Structure 1
Amino acid sequence: MLRNVLLALLALVIAVGGGTLSAWYAVSRFDGFGSLAIGQWTAHPDAGTPLSDPYAKARAAREGAFPLGGTEGLVFYAYSDNEGKTLDRRCTYKVEGNTPNTRFWTLYAADRALTSLEPGKDKLPALHSRQIFRNDDGGFSISVSPTAQPGNWLATSGGGRMVLVMTLYDTPIAGNSGLVNMAFPTVTRIGCDG
């Protein structure tokens, strides 16, 4: 009798514990279904649409996010550099290249919870397509660094991991098939302090 009670309690602990851990993982760590990776950049084209998976909806509700609709734009995230190393706030990176056709884009650095980093007093927290210097070929080079850099500079502060967030607004790209062959800027680590 006591053995059956203990086995039932063990099964209950495993079921509740496993269910809780799997739900936490799905909402906190799982990227969701239908993610699209282009180089270092990842997007979720179905976010904000009726086709969004339940995990993405739960994550958006948990974070208080308000995803863009399919015709409004797409948000891309870079968690690592071109060598696969996690982005670090103490390091200097070059974001070079160009974006797919879009009317307007923004770029900012965020922590792993996707909260924008405060770069400090008198520093811009984000860059956008209408304020950067461009190369002769129309491409751009942006330095992401905690120390001042010449040219286009996106300031970071603090220590720990970070994410680069690029949002394309009013882009004619309607579906995944149009994104697969698109070139995105590369994220290259230049050096680190500390």
Structure 2
Amino acid sequence: MIRTAFLVAVAVAIAIGGGAGSVWLALNTIDGVGTLTVGRWTAYPDSGTPDIDPYGKARFARDAELPLGRAEGLYFLADSDSSGQTLRRNCAYRLEGTVPVARFWTLYAADRVRSPTQGERTARVAGLHSRQVLRRADNSFDIAVGRHPAPGNWLPLEGVGDMVLVLTLYDTPVANGADERDIEMPRIYRTGCDA
């Protein structure tokens, strides 16, 4: 009798632990159902629509986020550089290229659960937007991302650990089902790391 009760308790513990672990894994991965992937950038075009997948709904509810509707815009996340290495706050990067057509866009660094990283010395979130970025004649740009100041466009980083770059496009035709082959996103190159 005790052996049967023990085996039932073990089976229930495995079932609950396995179920909770699989849900945690599904909610904490960037890739999901219905994603749009361009290079190292991933977006969720259905996030602000009734067509969003159940895990996407759970992720937004857990994080208390208000997703953008298709008419409002679309955000892209990048958690690795162009060579596939995880983005880290103690490293320096160069974003190079252009962004898709949008009325306005913003770029900032976030932690793995997409909370903006805040400066330790300031209470303000470091970020850039489309109206302050210096561009070349062909509308392309370079943005230095790192701890050390750089000339031109610079997105400052502080702290340690992994990070995600969040590029939000407002009022963009990309949100309405554009083909990923027609979208050009900035490339992310690692230029060095602090010890």
Measured against aligned partners, the alpha-carbon deviations of 1:139-194 in whole angstroms (never above 9, x if no partner) come to 01100011100000010101111111000000022433433421110000111111
- Tell me the distance in 2 between the aligned counterparts of 1:138 and 1:79: 25
How much does 1:21 deviate?
Answer: 1.4
- Whether the 8 Å CA contact 1:38–1:184 is kept in 2: the answer is yes
Query: Which letter maps to 1:131?
Result: Q
- Whether the 8 Å CA contact 1:124–1:154 is kept in 2: the answer is no
> What TM-score results when the alignment is normalised by the length of structure 1?
0.93
Aligned to 1:76: 76
> What TM-score results when the alignment is normalised by the length of structure 2?
0.92
SS at match of 1:150: coil
Amino-acid identity (%): 49
Aligned to 2:116: 116
- Whether the 8 Å CA contact 1:89–1:161 is kept in 2: the answer is yes
Q: How many residues align?
A: 194
Aligned to 2:132: 131
Measured against aligned partners, the alpha-carbon deviations of 1:69-111 in whole angstroms (never above 9, x if no partner) come to 1111000001000110011111111111001111111001111
Aligned to 2:183: 182
Gapped runs of 5+ residues in structure 1?
A: none
Aligned to 1:12: 12
- Tell me the distance in 2 between the aligned counterparts of 1:102 and 1:162: 24
Query: Which letter maps to 2:147?
Result: P
Aligned to 2:107: 107
How much does 1:18 deviate?
Answer: 1.4
More deviation in 9-18 or 84-93? 9-18
Report the RMSD for the aligned CA atoms in angstroms: 1.8
- Whether the 8 Å CA contact 1:82–1:186 is kept in 2: the answer is yes
How much does 1:122 deviate?
Answer: 9.8
Query: Which letter maps to 2:115?
Result: T
More deviation in 141-150 or 177-186? 177-186
Aligned to 2:33: 33
SS at match of 1:167: strand
Query: Which letter maps to 1:83?
Result: S
- Tell me the distance in 2 between the aligned counterparts of 1:116 and 1:108: 7
Query: Which letter maps to 1:100?
Result: P
- Tell me the distance in 1 between the aligned counterparts of 2:41 and 2:189: 13
- Given the superposition, is the C-alpha separation of residues 126 and 174 from structure 1 closer, same or farther in structure 2, using an over 3 Å criterion? closer
